[in-house]
């Protein structure tokens, strides 16, 4: 792969052309539903009237629905005398190959044979009318209608979800992913049988239509769909969507709800679903765990297959064994109805009638029907009535022919009368899920003396790889004999085995090993801070350690400095009562010497410093503010900016510090930090005071970094765009000199760099993802220059070229950066801008060719770097401005996880160009200096050379030709974050443009 060709790397990395709707695999996150209008959706299907025949066979009864793909009709199949659904697609005339792909897919779907997938009877391809898909007509309503009617019993909900999951599994095994699972696509026939409809046609609909909105229903999308990661979509995507439906049915609302599609997608990507029992406490704990696993943000933490999803639900149904027609989701999950209490032990209707009124029967039923959450209390009740329950239990045991959960429960209940059953319960305990394990372990505790030798012997025979049984053996011994020497030997590997367990049972595993918490906790913390381990296993270790660390300030501190946003506030709440004990730990981490020879250790150290400073500010320790003075490595200060909002730091405290601070760089960082805080609790009077103060600073403060930070908070957070624009107009009309920012006659803001400047350009050899053409060297810029604060926008470019084409990749949205620009077009714009400001033509930087065109044969003016006209920045000027004094991979530091706050790239752009100035600027005040669009520079793309110091005034000024690529910098919205590093270099030939090529303008000052 050629790193110099951004379009080539785009193709290799994305495996699809995101900006060409006709070629896209999945553009779910690129469009907004609200933007669809009638003009966007042309009529693409035939318009038969009632009783008119389609294909001379199907008599139309009525229209069932329509969209950009065409229409769906209820029709009568006159040949077979049955009602059918007819879905009609209009064949696209421009791309026959794509039509054949869809036709092939539809024929493949027609071969699916599952009782819960709507059968496709036939597929017809009509040259005149398009593609026809004939399927079973379902007249029993949709799942969305059933949801709207109110709560249903948990077993009924469980059975529906399991049925859907099994149907999905059938299709997934055949390589078909639905992509649009939602209640409206789950239909019933008149007998109540459930069917998945529109299976696999989501992609086809996109290919046939000209949809400008989201494909599918945003509320049911998976995170990978919401991010537009088509290459990650597989069967687990459908599992997430089904998890959303499951959640909705359990608690009566969806897990992700907001007023706009954009906010819904943001929640799906970033916000964890609230546990169902926190919304409706009667939700079964077992179902909550199953649901939350299906809703895991990380695709690898969901169920591997839909069959696994269904199996866990079936296991729940077997354990509870509750009549499907009984209690609803609004009822208590812990109280059995009279009908349930009289339930049959063996499942026989005849025996039910004989024993339904038997004394003690209710207690026995509770033992047999309870889930793990209430099994313990059921056993206690059985013990209290043991004289009554014993004969019933023994009778039931005698009728059991196979081992299983029911037999285990009976043995547990009979244990007080027959201790020999303890031996029979060892194997079920070692195979039980963690919830049941806790109950069985507790029940067997009185018999531990005879069981411990058995477990010790079993442990010696286990292979090292058997994590499941070895953990359960250790878990039993932890309660029965925590000082046993065998546990000391097992301790070394216990943590590594523990962190491999299913996340949904984390709390249970923490409870199981609580007797060993003092021995385990330091191993858990050490594991959690080991960057060589996977992030999921480290998170598991930290979460269990947190369960054990209530009053251990040392452990709590180390957990905090390695926590992510989802855990930091929880840990903080435990730290607050111990805050006086935190000082020595805070000082030690803040003063630690950052290792220079290991990039990962260096990054970890900076993150710990940032977390320590965040904790200081959360505890109202003003020492935390000193973190913002670090300019060479912004990793720690950037992290603090993003964390203070999560920790509930007072906005008033930050504003007071902004007022008092004298260092302008620190003030700028504080303004950006304030912008990340919620201002809901700030009074309107205070907000007005802050806005007036910030507007005055915005107009008069000479520091460009502070000016950029104020531009961001005023426009994006305080709604003061109009006031900012007015302030800039005043600046244009005035004559007062500004130290390092200025505004030209067209209202474009420039940041002035006083030269000469010398800095290190390129990347060190140990920087992750670097390529060979980024050789680290010292660069000298011998002049003062100015570079535009923001990319040239569509509005600004249209003043120069009103006929610029409005394709979808560079639509005419005024404040978006103009895209699809070639180097020649950018050079021509620079000369035009010089002309608008009446700069003498002798100071223009570009000379057209002999035909008066900006094309091959044009020239760069001699001595152009000393001229007053507008031009493109040199590559060195661009990198100096991008780095803003830093030496890290990105201008915000080395922690790539912070990139969402500063740059639009592959994972947060929704595959589209964004208006300028939406995200935070760098320390010099430049917006979008990385991401959103690649930016043209003056230079030819070539190696830097071997000189120890390279002066950028020696820019090649030969006649421009179409063969020599020009440098593009900054990366674009469709690239991964490594391409947005400050040192990365791309390039295209000057007559070429890409969907991600834009520019910003420069000029020499002296």
The DSSP line for 524-542 is: HHHHHT-TTS-HHHHHHHH
Mean pLDDT to the nearest integer, 736-756:
88
Examine the domain organization and report whether 402 and 508 are in the same domain.
no
In a domain, residue 746? The reply is no
State which of 412-426, 468-482, 731-745, 949-963 shows the largest mean pLDDT: 468-482
Q: What is the CATH number of the domain that holds 870?
A: 3.90.1580.10
Each residue of 456-470: b (16+ CB within 10 Å) or e?
eebbeeeeeeebebb
Examine the domain organization and report whether 264 and 161 are in the same domain.
yes
Would the pLDDT of 213 be above 50? Answer: no
In a domain, residue 714? The reply is no
Reading the block at residue 588, the tokens are 């030690």
Range of the domain at 956: 751-806+819-1004
Crossing angle of the two packed helices 154-172 and 306-320, in degrees rounded to 10: 150
Examine the domain organization and report whether 412 and 450 are in the same domain.
no
Mean pLDDT to the nearest integer, 755-778:
95
Closest listed residue to residue 118, CA positions, set 138, 91, 100: 138
More confident residue, 24 or 73: 73
pLDDT 10s digits, 428-455: 999 998 988 998 999 999 999 999 999 9
Would the pLDDT of 360 be above 70? Answer: no
448 touches 415 (CB < 8 A):
no
In a domain, residue 814? The reply is no
Examine the domain organization and report whether 875 and 956 are in the same domain.
yes
Examine the domain organization and report whether 243 and 386 are in the same domain.
no
Q: Which residue, of 526, 544, 573, is where some domain finishes?
A: 526
**Whole-Å CA distances, 25 to 41, 207, 564, 657, 855:** 20, 9, 33, 50, 36
In a domain, residue 770? The reply is yes
Closest listed residue to residue 462, CA positions, set 470, 451, 454: 470
What 3-state DSSP class applies to 22?
A: coil
**What pLDDT score was predicted for residue 390?**
76
**DSSP-assigned letter for residue 818:** P
More confident residue, 279 or 848: 848
**What pLDDT score was predicted for residue 234?**
86
**DSSP-assigned letter for residue 513:** T
Distance CA 966, CA 952 (A): 15
Examine the domain organization and report whether 464 and 391 are in the same domain.
no
Q: Which of 63-72, 644-653, 737-746, 897-906 is least confident?
A: 63-72
Q: Which of 83-87, 768-772, 965-969 is least confident?
A: 83-87
Q: Which of 208-222, 285-299, 411-425, 729-743 is least confident?
A: 208-222
In a domain, residue 545? The reply is no
pLDDT 10s digits, 1-27: 344 444 444 433 333 332 233 333 332
Distance CA 636, CA 978 (A): 19
**What pLDDT score was predicted for residue 356?**
40
Instruction: Tell me the average pLDDT of the chain.
Output: 82
Distance CA 941, CA 931 (A): 20
Decide: pTM greater than 0.85: no
- pLDDT-derived band at 486, boundaries 50, 70, 90: confident
**Whole-Å CA distances, 22 to 17, 96, 246, 289, 808:** 9, 12, 34, 40, 12
In a domain, residue 34? The reply is no
**What pLDDT score was predicted for residue 33?**
27
**What pLDDT score was predicted for residue 649?**
92
Would the pLDDT of 831 be above 90? Answer: yes
Mean pLDDT to the nearest integer, 211-229:
70
233 touches 225 (CB < 8 A):
yes
**What pLDDT score was predicted for residue 670?**
96
User: Structurally, how many domains does the chain consist of?
Assistant: 4
Examine the domain organization and report whether 411 and 454 are in the same domain.
no
Examine the domain organization and report whether 288 and 195 are in the same domain.
yes
Helix, strand counts (H, E) of the chain: 38, 22
More confident residue, 745 or 122: 745
Would the pLDDT of 200 be above 70? Answer: no
- pLDDT-derived band at 652, boundaries 50, 70, 90: very high
Would the pLDDT of 605 be above 50? Answer: yes
Q: What is the CATH number of the domain that holds 293?
A: 1.10.510.10
854 touches 846 (CB < 8 A):
yes
More confident residue, 680 or 261: 680
**What pLDDT score was predicted for residue 823?**
98
Q: Tally the residues of the chain.
A: 1006
Would the pLDDT of 329 be above 50? Answer: no
Reading the block at residue 663, the tokens are 């260092």
Q: How many CB atoms lie within 10 A of CB 721?
A: 14
Would the pLDDT of 336 be above 60? Answer: no
Closest listed residue to residue 87, CA positions, set 42, 51, 41, 118: 118
Order the strands of the 870-871 sheet from edge to edge. Answer: 741-743, 749-753, 785-788, 1002-1004, 870-871
What are the phi and psi torsion angles at 201 (to 5°)? -95, 0
In a domain, residue 203? The reply is yes
What 3-state DSSP class applies to 480?
A: helix
**What pLDDT score was predicted for residue 576?**
93
Would the pLDDT of 543 be above 60? Answer: yes
**What pLDDT score was predicted for residue 318?**
83
**What pLDDT score was predicted for residue 94?**
46
Closest listed residue to residue 759, CA positions, set 912, 887, 929, 572: 887
Q: Is 936 left (phi over 0), alpha (psi -120 to 50) or beta?
A: beta
Mean pLDDT to the nearest integer, 700-720:
94
Examine the domain organization and report whether 190 and 67 are in the same domain.
yes
> How large a percentage of the chain has pLDDT more than 70?
81
- pLDDT-derived band at 54, boundaries 50, 70, 90: confident
Closest listed residue to residue 516, CA positions, set 486, 549, 487: 487
Q: Which residue, of 526, 555, 580, is where some domain finishes?
A: 526
Q: Which residue, of 417, 449, 465, is where some domain finishes?
A: 417
**What pLDDT score was predicted for residue 104?**
64
> How large a percentage of the chain has pLDDT more than 90?
49
- pLDDT-derived band at 929, boundaries 50, 70, 90: very high
Would the pLDDT of 423 be above 60? Answer: yes
828 touches 835 (CB < 8 A):
no
Examine the domain organization and report whether 855 and 997 are in the same domain.
yes
Crossing angle of the two packed helices 372-384 and 405-414, in degrees rounded to 10: 30
Closest listed residue to residue 33, CA positions, set 3, 67, 83: 67
Examine the domain organization and report whether 411 and 423 are in the same domain.
no
State which of 90-104, 324-338, 408-422, 963-977 shows the largest mean pLDDT: 963-977
Order the strands of the 986-988 sheet from edge to edge. Answer: 986-988, 966-969, 934-940, 997-998
Residue 853: which residues within 8 A CB-CB, separation 6 or more? none
**What pLDDT score was predicted for residue 30?**
28
Would the pLDDT of 732 be above 80? Answer: no
Would the pLDDT of 253 be above 60? Answer: yes
Distance CA 296, CA 223 (A): 9
Examine the domain organization and report whether 362 and 447 are in the same domain.
no
3-state SS, 279-294, equals: HCCCCCHHHHHHHHHH
Torsion, Cα 841 844 847 848, to 10 degrees, reads -80
pLDDT 10s digits, 140-190: 889 999 888 878 889 999 999 999 999 999 988 877 888 889 999 999 988
Would the pLDDT of 819 be above 80? Answer: yes
In a domain, residue 236? The reply is yes
Distance CA 626, CA 623 (A): 6
More confident residue, 854 or 397: 854
Distance CA 33, CA 221 (A): 14
Question: Is-cis flag, bond preceding 756, omega within 30?
Answer: yes
């Amino acid at each position: 792969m050629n790193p110099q060709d951004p379009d080539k790397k785009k193709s290799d990395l994305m495996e699809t052309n995101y900006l060409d709707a006709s070629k896209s695999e999945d553009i779910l996150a690129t469009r907004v539903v609200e933007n669809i209008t009638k003009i966007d959706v042309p009529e693409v299907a035939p318009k038969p009237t009632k009783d008119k025949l389609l294909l001379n066979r199907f008599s139309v009864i009525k229209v069932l629905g329509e969209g950009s793909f065409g229409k769906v009709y209820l029709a009568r199949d006159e040949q077979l005398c049955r009602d059918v659904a007819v879905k009609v697609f209009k064949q696209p005339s421009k791309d026959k190959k794509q039509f054949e792909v869809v036709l092939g897919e539809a024929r493949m779907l027609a071969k699916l044979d599952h009782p819960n997938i709507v059968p496709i009877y036939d597929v017809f391809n009509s040259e005149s009318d398009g593609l026809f898909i004939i399927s079973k007509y379902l007249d029993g309503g949709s799942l969305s209608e059933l949801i709207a009617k109110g709560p249903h019993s948990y077993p009924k909900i469980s059975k529906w979800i399991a049925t859907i999951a099994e149907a999905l599994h059938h299709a997934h095994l055949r390589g078909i992913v639905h992509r649009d699972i939602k209640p409206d696509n789950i239909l019933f026939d008149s007998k109540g049988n459930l069917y998945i409809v529109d299976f696999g046609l989501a992609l086809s609909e996109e290919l046939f239509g000209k949809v400008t909105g989201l494909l599918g229903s945003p509320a049911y999308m998976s995170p990978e769909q919401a991010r537009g990661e088509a290459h990650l979509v597989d069967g687990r995507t459908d599992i997430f969507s089904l998890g959303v439906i499951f959640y909705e049915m359990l608690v009566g609302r969806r897990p992700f709800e907001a007023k706009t599609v954009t906010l819904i997608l943001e929640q799906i990507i970033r916000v964890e679903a609230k546990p169902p029992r926190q919304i409706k406490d009667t939700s079964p704990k077992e179902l909550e765990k199953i649901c939350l696993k299906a809703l895991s943000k990380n695709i690898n933490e969901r169920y591997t297959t839909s069959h696994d999803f269904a199996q866990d639900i079936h296991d729940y149904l077997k354990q509870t064994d509750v009549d499907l027609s009984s209690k609803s989701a609004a009822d208590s999950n812990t109280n059995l109805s009279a009908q349930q209490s009289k339930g049959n032990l063996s499942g026989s209707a005849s025996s039910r009638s004989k024993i339904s009124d038997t004394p003690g029967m209710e207690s026995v039923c509770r033992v047999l029907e309870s889930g793990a959450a209430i099994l313990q209390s059921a056993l206690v009740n059985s013990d209290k009535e043991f004289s009554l329950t014993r004969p019933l239990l023994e009778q039931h045991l005698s009728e059991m022919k196979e081992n299983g959960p029911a037999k285990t429960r009976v043995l547990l209940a009979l244990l007080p009368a027959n201790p020999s059953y303890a031996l029979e319960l060892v194997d079920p305990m070692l195979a039980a899920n963690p919830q049941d394990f806790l109950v069985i372990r507790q029940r067997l505790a009185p018999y531990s003396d005879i069981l411990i030798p058995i477990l010790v012997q079993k442990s010696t025979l286990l292979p090292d790889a058997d994590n499941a049984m070895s953990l359960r053996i250790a878990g039993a011994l932890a309660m029965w004999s925590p000082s046993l020497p065998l546990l000391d030997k097992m301790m070394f590997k216990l943590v590594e085995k523990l962190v491999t367990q299913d996340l949904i049972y984390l709390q249970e595993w923490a409870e199981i090993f609580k007797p060993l918490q003092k021995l385990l906790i330091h191993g858990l913390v050490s594991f959690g801070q080991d960057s060589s381990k996977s992030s999921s296993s480290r998170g598991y270790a930290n979460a269990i350690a947190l369960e054990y660390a209530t009053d251990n300030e040392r452990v709590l501190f180390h957990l905090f400095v390695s926590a992510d946003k989802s855990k930091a506030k929880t840990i903080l709440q435990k730290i607050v009562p111990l805050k006086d004990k935190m000082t020595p730990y805070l000082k030690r981490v803040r003063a630690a010497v950052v290792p220079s020879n290991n990039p990962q250790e260096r990054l970890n150290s900076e993150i710990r410093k940032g977390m320590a400073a965040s904790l200081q500010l959360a505890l109202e320790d003003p020492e935390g503010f000193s973190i913002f003075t670090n300019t060479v490595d912004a990793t720690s200060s950037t992290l603090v900016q993003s964390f203070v909002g999560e920790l509930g730091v007072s906005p008033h405290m930050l504003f007071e510090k902004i007022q008092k601070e004298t260092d302008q760089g620190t003030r700028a960082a504080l303004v950006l930090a304030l912008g990340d805080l919620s201002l809901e609790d700030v009074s309107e009077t205070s907000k007005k005071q802050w806005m007036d103060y910030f507007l005055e600073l915005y107009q008069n403060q000479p520091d460009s970094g502070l000016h950029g930070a104020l531009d961001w908070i005023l426009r994006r957070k305080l709604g003061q765009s109009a006031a900012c624009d007015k302030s800039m107009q005043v600046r244009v009309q005035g004559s007062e000199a500004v130290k390092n920012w200025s505004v030209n006659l067209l209202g474009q803001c420039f940041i002035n760099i006083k030269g000469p400047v010398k800095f290190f350009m390129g990347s060190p050899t140990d920087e992750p993802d670097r390529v060979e053409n980024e050789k680290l060297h010292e660069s000298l810029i011998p002049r003062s220059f100015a570079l535009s604060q923001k990319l040239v926008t569509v509005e600004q470019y249209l003043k120069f070229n009103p006929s610029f084409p409005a394709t979808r990749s560079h639509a005419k949205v005024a404040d978006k950066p103009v895209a699809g620009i070639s180097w020649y077009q950018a050079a021509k714009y620079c000369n035009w801008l010089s002309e608008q400001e009446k700069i003498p033509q002798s100071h223009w930087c570009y000379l057209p060719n002999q035909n008066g065109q900006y094309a091959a044969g044009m020239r760069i003016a001699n001595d152009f770097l000393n001229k007053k006209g507008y031009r493109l920045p040199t590559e060195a000027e661009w990198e100096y401005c991008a780095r803003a004094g830093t030496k890290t991979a990105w201008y915000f530091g080395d922690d790539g996880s912070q990139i969402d706050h500063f740059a639009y790239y592959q994972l947060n752009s929704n595959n589209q160009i964004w208006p300028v100035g939406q995200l935070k600027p760098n320390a010099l005040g430049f917006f979008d200096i990385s991401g959103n669009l690649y930016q043209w520079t003056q230079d030819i793309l070539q190696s830097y050379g071997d000189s120890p110091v390279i002066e950028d005034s020696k820019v090649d000024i030969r006649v421009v030709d179409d063969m020599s690529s020009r440098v593009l910098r900054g990366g674009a919205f469709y690239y991964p974050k490594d391409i947005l590093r400050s040192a990365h270099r791309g390039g295209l030939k000057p007559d070429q443009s890409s969907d991600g090529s834009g520019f910003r303008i420069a000029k020499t000052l002296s």
